[in-house]
Amino acid sequence: MQTPYLTGRLRSFGHAFRGLKVLVQTQPNARIHALATLLVLAGGWLLRISPAEWALIALTIACVWAAEAMNTAIEFVVDLVSPDHHPLAAKAKDVAAGAVLLTAIGAAVVGGIVFGPYVLRLFAR
């Protein structure tokens, strides 16, 4: 027997997963993030990175995806409240996109720190 509280929580997960589906289906950059995620996970598996390195990679992936999701949510809301071009609406979208760019740059730095030594060892052979 499910309680109303449990039912509400399960429904919340359904909304969240539907949001992720919308994100991937409607945003070309999210599909790029998906490909990058798969490549990084495959690279980590092939190079047998350490548990601590996996933790850094997982946190970094989550940050990029969260930033992309928030950017998309902001874009949807801005489009709703300001369907016509407005300078403040453009600024809000630009700042949100800048947040994604910052996380992507950070992810590249973390990727270089984690994968760099492994790649250098491969080329040193």
Q: Where are the domains of the chain?
A: 28-124
Half-sphere exposure of 38 (CA within 13 A, CB side): 5
Give the contacts of 107 (CB within 8 A, at least 6 positions apart).
60, 61, 63, 64
CA dist., res. 121 & res. 109, Å (int) = 18
Q: What is the pLDDT of residue 2?
A: 63
Smallest CA-to-CA distance from 39 within 22, 64, 71 is with: 64
Q: What is the pLDDT of residue 1?
A: 57
Q: State which residues of the chain have pLDDT below 50.
A: none
Half-sphere exposure of 77 (CA within 13 A, CB side): 10
Architecture of the domain spanning 28-124? Orthogonal Bundle (1.10)
Annotated catalytic residue within 40, 68, 69, 96: 68
Catalytic residue list contains 68: yes
CA dist., res. 28 & res. 34, Å (int) = 10
Q: What is the pLDDT of residue 5?
A: 87
CA dist., res. 26 & res. 73, Å (int) = 12
